[in-house]
Every structure is written in C-alpha cells, then in structure tokens.
C-alpha cells in the first residue's frame, strides 16, 4: 500500500531538459543505461525513501527522492562513488544531466541522502532481485559462495597495540593523579588566600587526559572481548578435532598444544578511526584494515542473491550467516525455491572453496536447505582423483571429499570459479570499487548492498535492455 504523500517536493521532470536545443537523447545511444534507469526507477516502490520526509512539512521543498535514488544508482553503476564527484558529474556529464536537469543537488545533499537511507536500499535490493527472477535470470540451480577483502576507512597510523595500550593507560592514570593532587594543592592555597570558591571546574589538561583515558580503556576492552571470542572459538575447534580423532581411533600427531589464552597478545591492534574493522591480509597490499565482503551468486546470469560484510578474516565463520542471508533474501524478494515432483522444496546446490569448510558449516548449510559442495583441501589443477570408498563411520570431511570427487561433484565444483569470481572482478576492476567510503560495520553493509544492487541492475539491463551489436 502506497504511503499518501503530504510533503511538497521540488519538481523533477527530466523530460524538460530533453526539450532544450542540446538534448541528451540526441547525443546518447537509444538503449543507454541512463534511459533504462529513468524508465525503471519510477516503477519501483520507493515509499521507504519518502517516509522520512513525510514527517516534516516545514521548510523549503527537498529534492524528489526518486531523483536522488536514480542518480545514486546510475553513479554506482558507472563507478562514481564519491558524493563530490557525483555532484561534479551533474555539471559536466551528459548522462548525469539527463537525470538531474537544471536543478542539481550538491555533494552534501547526496552524502546525507545516502547515509540516511542505507536500510531503504536493502528493500530496493529485494525488488531488483525479484525483477531479475521474473526475467528468468535467477533459477536457483546452483549458488556459488565467495568472499573478498575490501579496504576500509581506517588508518593503520591511528591504531594502537594491546601492549602499548596498557602502558599508555598506566601513564595517563599517573598524570591524572598528579594533576588532581596539583589541583587540590592549588585549591588549598586559594582557599587560604581568597576564601571559598565553587571548586567544580576541572583544568583543561585534566579534561583532555580523562577523555583520552576513556578512549584507551574502551579500546582495551574491545581487544579483550575479541580475544575472549577467539579463545572460545579455538576451544570449540579443538573439541571438534578431538571428537573426530576419537571416532576414527587416531592419535594426535606432534606435541600437545598449549592452553588457550583469554588475554590478548601484546601485538594485537585496534583502530581508533573505525573500531569495527580488523587488520586482515589484502591482495597484493600486505596487511591493512578492511572488511570481508561476502556474496552468493546464482549460476544462470551471475545475479547476486545475498551479500553482507563481516569483520572476520576467515571464511569459515561467514559460511552459515551467508546461507541464512541467502534464504532471507529469497523470502524477502518473494522468489520461490524450485520443487520436485512431489511438491517438496529441492535442495539448492551450493559450492564454495576450501576456506569455507568446517563440519559445523556443512551441517548448518544442509539445515538451511542447501546441498553443499565444499572443497576440503586445496585442489591441484588438472589432477584426477580416483574415487575412494568411504569407511564405516566416515566423518563429515571424508563424506564431503568423496562427494566432490564424484563426476557430478567435480563438474559442479568446477563451475564455481566461473560463477562467483568474475563478479568481484567486475566490481573491483570494471567499476573500480576497492574501498568502503563509510565507517562502521552497519554503514559498510549498507554501502555494500548498494554496490551489489547496482551490479544486479547492470545484469538486468545488459541481458534484457542493452542494445546488441550485430
């Protein structure tokens, strides 16, 4: 049900600009992406974008949200992500002018609109996914999972290790104690000389040090919580490995591992500019703060079914959440899972590389309705593996390895790399998105949804609306 709109907006009529002597339609191809978006965006349900404006009827009329949505979608499709560069393109680029006409938003308007409607783009992602499914671009015969690291807006020079945090905290506490002692002595001298005073004013130095101490204490607490979570995960991993050895009747190889520590190592670091991100290995760039962007891709036309960003560098942790996000995304978009002859939902084949494998991840994928094909180890190219009979009481790892070695499993898993890996190439190389512009994991997830939403829009346009070259 559409929300009745009481707010008055600036008039958005892109056709008015087309009536001028220098018309975009005369210079751009007939099937250009900008015309596809100008036709498609008004047909989408944008009530979530209008809702925040309808609550305030005072002030000057704002820009029509349909204009700003169309402008942001086109900018992200063509690889322009900075709000300043988008505003600049609205003055110089013919395709951008075809959207905004003579009334051009400034960069602050664009930045505030993007940050204020990140959740609304999640609903738009579901609408575009439903549109792609109705066009026959999503069939759910095979989904491929993968992740890639993207840099974040966090500086390595604005970070501090746990060991240095402890030293700084001790130093600041000593300085604050000394300043308090000095303030008490000064008060006593002034009381003796001038009489009583209020005494509730703190010295500027004391305020600054107390603020810094609070920041350092919070950073120290974050590292301790992360260390506790990592220790719990390591204990669970050791327990699963020991249970597997007990089932197989094998003994541990090598030395007994040392006890798990709940205390962070002195070299463990945290960032002050974006505490949500962690240092992780970047491709060809060493180590830096970033996010692990996860996607699930349909094999038919490389449509993204689900996406989210995690601070976990290891892909074992995002495996189950990515499967759950895929199911939630399909349900939100109203895309039905294929059914068999008996009318029961079929299990969707899901492939992923060896980084996603763990016994818990496989169990959770199967419980979510997927038929997992995960590599259990790094596979060598062009090396044929003979099927090995499963022993009695085989572990989940052995069963999955045998499943992937079957002709059907090898053929399906071989398709994984041509389904999901080119998607990151299209986003990173073709569209130039390599770094998140926003800070905080919640905002980063909203920005990643916007990137993936425009990826799907490009697929819909290219497969159905783009002009073909004979």
Beta bridge partners of 160: 270
If we measure between CA atoms, which residue out of 301, 284, 248 comes closest to residue 136?
Answer: 301
In this prediction, the residues of the chain whose per-residue pLDDT falls under 70 are: 1-6, 15-22, 156-169, 171-172, 175-176, 179, 182-209, 212-213, 215-216, 219, 248, 266, 272, 284-285, 378-393, 465-470
Of the CA atoms within 13 Å of residue 425, those in its CB half-sphere come to 7
Tokens 């009979």 appear where? 389
The tokens for 120 are 């609304």
CA-to-CA distance for 137 and 132, rounded, in angstroms?
A: 5
**Rounded CA gap, 242 and 287, in Å?**
32
**What integer pLDDT is reported at residue 183 of this predicted model?**
67
Cβ neighbours of residue 138 closer than 8 Å, sequence gap 6 or more:
129, 132, 298, 300, 301, 303, 305, 335
Among 107, 24, 123, 44, CA closest to 72:
107
Q: d(Cα 57, Cα 39) in Å, to the nearest integer? A: 28
Cα separation, 125 vs 48, in Å, equals: 13
Q: Which residues contact 241 (CB under 8 A, 6 or more apart)?
A: none
In our burial notation (b when 16+ CB lie closer than 10 A, e otherwise), range 287-300 reads: ebbbbbbbbbbbbb
Task: Please tell me the number of Cα atoms within 13 Å of 163 on its side-chain side.
Answer: 4
Determine the Cα–Cα distance for residues 384 and 191; give it in Å rounded to an integer.
Answer: 90
- Strands 269-271 and 278-282 come out as unpaired
Closest by CA to 126, choosing from 383, 334, 437, 367, is 334
The residues, ordered by sequence, that sit 6+ positions from 334 with a Cβ below 8 Å of its Cβ are 130
State residue 469's pLDDT score: 40
Helix, coil or strand: residue 66: helix
Helices (H) and strands (E) counted in the chain, each on its own, are 18, 8
β-pairing, 304-310 vs 286-298, is: antiparallel
Task: Give, rounded to a whole angstrom, the gap between the first and last alpha carbons of the chain.
Answer: 44
Distance CA 112, CA 132 (A): 29
DSSP 8-state secondary structure symbol assigned to residue 43? G
Look at residues 136, 434, 439, 397 and name the one whose alpha carbon lies nearest to residue 273: 439
Rounded to whole angstroms, how far apart are CA atoms 367 and 462?
35
What is the distance between the alpha carbons of residues 205 and 183, in angstroms, rounded to a whole number? Answer: 11
Rounded to whole angstroms, how far apart are CA atoms 458 and 40? 12
List Cβ neighbours of 56 (8 Å cut-off, separation of 6 or more).
Answer: 7
Which among 33, 44, 14, 231 has a CA at the least distance from the CA of 120? 44
For the chain, the C-alpha Rg in angstroms (whole number) is 28
The residues, ordered by sequence, that sit 6+ positions from 219 with a Cβ below 8 Å of its Cβ are 160, 165, 270, 272, 275
Using alpha carbons only, give the angle 294, 295, 301 rounded to the nearest 5 degrees.
160
CA atoms within 13 A on the CB side of 122: 18
pLDDT at 430: 92
Tokens of 253: 């190889």
Element (H, E) at 348: strand 348-352
- Residues, the chain: 470
pTM of the predicted model over 0.75: yes
**Spatial separation of the C-alpha atoms in residues 56 and 466, rounded to whole Å:** 40
pLDDT for 197: 47
């Amino acid at each position: 049900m559409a929300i009745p709109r009481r707010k008055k907006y600036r008039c958005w009529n892109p056709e008015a600009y087309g009536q001028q002597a220098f018309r975009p339609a005369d210079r751009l191809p007939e099937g250009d992406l900008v015309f596809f978006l100008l036709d498609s965006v008004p047909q989408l349900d944008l009530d979530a974008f209008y809702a925040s404006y309808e609550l305030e009827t005072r002030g000057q009329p704002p820009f029509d949200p349909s204009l700003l949505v169309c402008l942001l979608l086109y900018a992200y499709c063509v690889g322009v992500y900075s709000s300043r560069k988008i505003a600049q393109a609205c003055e110089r680029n013919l395709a951008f002018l075809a959207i905004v006409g003579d009334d051009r938003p400034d960069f602050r308007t664009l930045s505030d609109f993007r940050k204020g409607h990140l959740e609304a783009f999640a609903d738009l992602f579901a609408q575009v996914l439903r549109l792609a499914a109705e066009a026959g671009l999503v069939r759910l015969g095979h989904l491929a999972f993968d992740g890639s690291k993207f840099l974040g807006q966090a500086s390595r020079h604005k970070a501090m290790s746990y060991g240095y945090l402890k030293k700084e905290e001790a130093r600041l506490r000593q300085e604050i104690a000394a300043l308090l002692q000095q303030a008490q002595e000064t008060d006593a001298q002034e009381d003796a000389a001038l009489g009583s005073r209020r005494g509730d004013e703190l010295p500027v130095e004391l305020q600054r040090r107390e603020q810094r101490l609070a920041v350092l204490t919070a950073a120290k607490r974050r590292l301790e919580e992360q260390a506790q979570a990592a220790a719990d995960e390591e204990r669970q991993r050791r327990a699963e490995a020991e249970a597997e050895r007990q089932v197989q009747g094998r003994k541990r190889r090598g030395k007994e591992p040392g006890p798990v520590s709940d205390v962070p190592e002195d070299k463990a670091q945290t960032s002050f500019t974006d505490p949500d991100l962690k240092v992780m290995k970047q491709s060809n760039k060493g180590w830096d703060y970033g996010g692990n962007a996860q996607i699930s891709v349909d094999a038919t036309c490389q449509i993204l079914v689900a996406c989210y960003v995690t601070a976990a560098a290891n892909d074992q942790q995002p495996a189950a959440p990515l499967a759950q996000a895929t199911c939630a995304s399909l349900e939100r978009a109203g895309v039905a899972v294929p059914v068999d002859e008996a009318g029961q939902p079929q299990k969707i084949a899901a492939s992923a590389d060896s980084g996603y494998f763990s016994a818990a991840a496989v169990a959770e994928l199967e419980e979510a309705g997927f038929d997992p094909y995960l590599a259990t180890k790094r596979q060598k190219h062009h090396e044929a593996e003979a099927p090995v009979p499963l022993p009695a009481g085989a572990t989940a790892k052995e069963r999955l390895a045998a499943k992937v070695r079957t002709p059907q499993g090898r053929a399906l898993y071989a398709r994984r790399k041509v389904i999901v890996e080119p998607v990151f190439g299209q986003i990173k190389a073709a569209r130039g998105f390599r770094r998140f512009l926003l800070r905080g994991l919640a905002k980063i997830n909203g920005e990643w949804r916007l990137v993936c939403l425009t990826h799907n829009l490009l697929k819909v346009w290219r497969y159905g609306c783009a002009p073909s070259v004979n």
